[in-house]
A and B are shown apart, each in its own frame.
Chain A
Amino acid sequence: MQHGRRVVSLPAPDVRNVVALHDAGAAIAAALMEAKRAVVDAIALPAAAAAALAAGASLRAGRYSLRTRPEEPVWRLDKLTLHVADPHAAEAAWQGLAPGVAGSLLAQRLGAEPPNLLTPKRFAEKLAALKGSDVDVLKPAELRRQGFGALLGVARGSANPPRVVVMRRKGAFAAKPLVLVGKGVTFDTGGISIKPADDMEEMKTDMAGAAAIAGCMQALAARDSPAPVTAVLGLVENMPGATAQRPGDLVRAVDGTTIEIIDTDAEGRLVLADCLAWARAKFAPVAMLDLATLTGSILVALGGKRAGLFASDAALGAAIAAAGAQTGEHVWPMPLDAAYAEPLESAIADVRHCVPERFQPDACQAAAFLHRFVGDTPWAHLDIAGMEWRREPDDPWPAGATGFGARLLDRLVAMRFEDPDNWPDAGH
């Protein structure tokens, strides 16, 4: 096959439908995977559509393998040439997309790493090695000093100590930064409230929020984005153990809020609560956005086809939805009503982090919980549970980790946070 020729033909996709273009690109890549090089006749496509096609092909080509012998059939494709009417325009469009695609591929690889290889420490080292950001790594002693009681409670059952990684891009103009907060649970057993064994291996990707933000930061660096952006990634492992957190425990978050622990498997919101409250106090951000594989509830609600978007700020929410539509990483608005906080009342603490009864709108309740920790900072929360993993190739993604969110964030920054004259904070 390597030296032979192979021709595949596809119906022309709808050039306005970014998902269809991604899918077409992915299908081309999958069909021609055994060829080292391939040429696509994309002469009929406008430049932007051709670039989207290339993005789909690149996303599907993502590979993570620790096999000692190659998988059959071997994926050899590593160069794709598109014949287009206007190569300059197509090249320019591709240059706009390529950093985000590379960021997604980084997030895919991080998401695929086995949890014994990607511990919080190792994850932090990988992040520190990324170019283009100033990286600070907060270790347990420092986290204790700073009062990260909620995050440390999650981490205490694990032999692998936690890290909080701060990645800063100062940007090209002086402004309060956009802060991106990521859930990075490198493995989530559920802790003492342990999960059922079936499919538990997929919990290695419970750090997909942090991975997507890492991918975004890499993309911003690659295209030398002028935006001031700071990432705060909470990296912990959630294990049962003699020192593990118990249901009923009481922890104190960075901002002093006391939290009653109900279900140790609702750990992501504890990690985020500290990171959000800390980032808010430390950086006075213009806006905060967090990404997390947070709840099974959002998977039931939206079926793993869209991420749940909870926004305290309508303009920020609309910008995220637009970035999602443009990148094919779709989100759907979900309610952030005060009513969802009511069942979080605790008998002994300021708040409990989840509700013990079954059949709860846990995604909405988790968002209401997080809302407590952001004050009046414009904020949005993306619950990406269900988007981070595919058992079969789907949309442009290969089977495995998808890297969902990296391209959306990259586009969001490009759309809304790169123009100092139109900075969202200008009115203040």
Chain B
Amino acid sequence: MLDIGFSKPALPKTGALAILIAEKEKLSGLAAQADKACGGAIGRALEAAKFTGRKGTSCTILAPGAGLSRMVAVGLGEAAKIDVRTAEDAGGHLGAALAAEAEAAIACDGSVKAHAASVAYGANLRSYRFDRYRTKEKPEDKPKLSALTVLTDDPAKAKAEYAPLAAVAKGVFLARDLCSEPPNVLNPYEFAARCEALESLGLDVEVVGPKEMKKLGFGALLGVAQGSENDPCMVVMRWNGAGKGDGGKGDGGKGKKGKKAKPICFIGKGVTFDTGGISLKPAANMEDMKWDMAGAGTVAGLMAALAGRRANVDAVGLLGLVENMPSGNAQRPGDVVTSASGQTIEVINTDAEGRLVLADVIHYAQKEFDPAFIVDLATLTGAIIIGLGHEHAGLFCNDDKLASQLEAAGKASGETVWRMPLGEEYDKLLKSDIADMKNVGGRPGGSITAACFIQRFIDKDRPWAHLDIAGTAWGAKDKPTVPKGAVGFGVRLLDRLVAAHFEGGKHDG
């Protein structure tokens, strides 16, 4: 996490300075002061570089004068179109351009002045790096940026706006850490231990082990886990923040009492490593399967974000944590398992395991918490990548209102979703000859039949959305606010959903 401070605009005497410029905008404010102090060197350099303030462009000037080591200008695009997302992305570009400096100041006194907190947020999100296991990296190869000072006319306001964003960023970083950890380190119980560490935020965390799951009838989840040496578990995280308001604290998760509104519920697929099981995956790129727990990572990150910013909501997050391995004791294609709901499932492909895990956890969540709605997240299908690529997560939803709320939250957070169909014509492809259903419906429409499978475990009339994040959980290249690697996709999206519709007694669901 970058150490971020806010203060009144004043030209720094040393170090780096960043400025943000809208398209065709003249240097003004601090930027103009800096240019003057440098004898016009900044203006001349920007002109020579043909920097016009176009969105996504930047220009770096080394040692421009006046004691500054570096000047970075980032384009904001059209002045009239500057919004929160523009500011976040510009902050991200700045963060990357300033990586070689230990400390830097950002001038947020121009066209972007209303969004100083968002600029800082973007820079912080971009600064993420997972380097725990790099033991030989030379100091000069490491990014140095550790502190940013945001120069703004109203530092107090920006600081107050930034506080909840910092909490969300912590959640995003947790999700990214969990995805990045190697699978021999992050097995189901290590994952659970990291969730338990979040109790310090006021979350109530409970870990349900295999014995208890057997009692609960989790035949679908346990079938997936049976091939692995690593025991499975389910983590239940509760944030009881409703009515607590600012600075309030969760009540330690004493559960449903009084006439509180139903909690909202998030469920994540957490397959800490997915070999495919007996239906073994091809070797190429199999290491990517360490982040087959991204859905669970996001739910953990989201719960940390909600608790960290003391969200005025009752939320419950459930993670189904298992490892899917081939072995002498592994689940076979052809096995029939009985899920917690009592429905029987013929396992056709042991690599379609995520939905089996979700089936039992979803059933438990409804029985235990009767939530106002459920959103589940899962790196569920390769088919969603062939459908939507890496641009949008697939959204499957039985409730138009919840779907449009998610679509809006996606646009606002930059973590976008694209709605995909559900329906009887797809569901019928799951018909089994010997059980209530098969766990796969064939290659055509593979993401849709996977969603239909999950829907069979959702109570009738309960609003539910399923996010297939197989294409969005991991990035092959840098994006403004997301360095390449684990994205933490969904933390910001769902935090936004909660903030916009479900806090402070609001219950749009």
For residue B203, CB closer than 8 A to chain A, the reply is no
> Which chain A residues in 348-364 approach chain B with CB under 8 Å?
359-364
**Partner-contacting stretch, out of A189-197, A250-258, A310-318, A334-342:** A334-342
Specify which of B386, B392, B449 is in contact with A359 (CB 8 Å cutoff).
B386
Cα–Cα distance between A364 and B384 once the two chains are bound (Å): 12
**A384: min CB distance to chain B, Å:** 14
Take A303-B449, A332-B421, A335-B392 as given contacts and tell me if A297 and B444 are in contact as well, using a CB distance cutoff of 8 Å. Answer: no
Contact residues of A between 300 and 353, Cβ < 8 Å to B: 300-306, 332, 334-335, 337, 339-340
With beta carbons under 8 angstroms apart, the residue of A302, A304, A364 that contacts B389 is: A364
Query: Could you tell me if A305 and B445 are in contact, using CB atoms closer than 8 angstroms?
Result: yes
Whether the pair A361, B386 counts as a contact (CB closer than 8 A) is yes
Q: Tell me whether B385 is interfacial, beta carbon within 8 Å.
A: yes
A401 to B105, CA, bound (A): 66
What is the total of A-B residue contacts with beta carbons within 8 Å? Answer: 73
Contact of B445 among A304, A361, A364 (CB under 8 A): A304
In the complex, whether B382 has a CB less than 8 A from a CB of chain A is: yes
Option from A300, A305, A365 in Cβ contact (under 8 Å) with B423: A305
B444 and A303 contacting across the interface, CB-CB below 8 Å: yes
Would you call A396 an interface residue if the criterion is a C-beta within 8 Å of the partner chain's C-beta atoms?
A: no
Cα distance A303–B383 in the bound complex, in angstroms:
10
**Count of chain B residues with a beta carbon within 8 Å of a chain A beta carbon:** 26
Q: Contact string, A368-380, partner B, CB cutoff 8 A, digits 1/0? A: 0000000000000
Question: Is B387 interfacial (CB-CB < 8 Å)?
Answer: yes
**Contact-size category for A:** 20 to 34
Chain A residues, CB < 8 A from B388: 301, 335, 361, 364
| Complex partner residue of B386 from A301, A334, A337, CB under 8 angstroms | A301
Chain A CB within 8 A of B131 CB = no
The complex places the Cα of A364 from the Cα of B391 at a distance, in Å, of: 10
A386 contacts the other chain (Cβ, under 8 Å)?
Answer: yes
Does A299 lie at the interface of the complex (its beta carbon under 8 Å from any beta carbon of B)?
yes
B389 touches A303 (CB 8 A): no
Instruction: Say whether A303 contacts B426, CB under 8 Å.
Output: yes
B385 close to A361 (CB less than 8 A): yes
Chain A residue with the shortest CB-CB distance to B386: A300
Give Cα distance in the complex from A45 to B289, angstroms.
55
Would you call A297 and B387 a contact (CB within 8 A)? Answer: yes
Q: Are A340 and B445 in contact (CB under 8 A)?
A: no
Give the residue name and chain of the A residue nearest to B394 (CB): A301
List the A side residues contacting B426 at CB < 8 Å: 303, 305
One of B389, B448, B449 near A340 (C-beta < 8 A) = B389
Chain A residues within an 8 Å CB radius of B389: 340, 360-361, 364-365
Against A, the Cβ 8 Å flags (1 = close, 0 = not) of B437-457 are 000001111111100000000
B278 at interface by CB-CB < 8 Å:
no
Contact residues in B for A305 (Cβ distance below 8 Å):
421, 423, 425-426, 445
Q: Which residues of B contact A304 (CB under 8 A)?
A: 444-445
Chain B: minimal CB distance from A396 (Å): 13
Q: For residue B382, give the distance in angstroms from its CB to the closest CB of chain A.
A: 7
Q: Is B207 an interface residue (CB 8 A)?
A: no
A297–B446 Cα distance when bound, in Å, is 11
Q: When chains A and B are docked, how far (Å) is the Cα of A362 from the Cα of B386?
A: 7
B213 at the binding interface (Cβ < 8 Å): no
CB nearest to B392 among chain A residues: A335
Residues in B whose Cβ lies below 8 Å from that of A339: 391
What is the CA–CA distance of A361 and B391 in the complex, to the nearest angstrom?
A: 10
Contact with A along B414-440 (1 / 0, CB 8 A): 000010110101100100000000000
Known A359-B385, A361-B389, A363-B387; judge A300-B444 contact (CB<8 A): yes
17 contacts between A and B (CB under 8 A): A300-B383, A301-B384, A301-B386, A302-B387, A303-B445, A304-B445, A305-B426, A306-B421, A334-B418, A340-B389, A359-B382, A360-B386, A361-B385, A361-B387, A361-B388, A361-B389, A386-B444
- Residues on B lying within 8 angstroms of A by beta carbon are 382-389, 391-392, 418, 420-421, 423, 425-426, 429, 442-449, 471
Given contact pairs A305-B445, A386-B444, a sample of 19 additional A-B residue pairs in the complex whose CB atoms are under 8 Å apart:
A299-B444, A299-B445, A300-B444, A301-B420, A302-B420, A303-B429, A303-B446, A303-B448, A332-B420, A332-B421, A334-B418, A337-B391, A339-B391, A340-B391, A359-B386, A361-B387, A361-B388, A364-B391, A365-B389
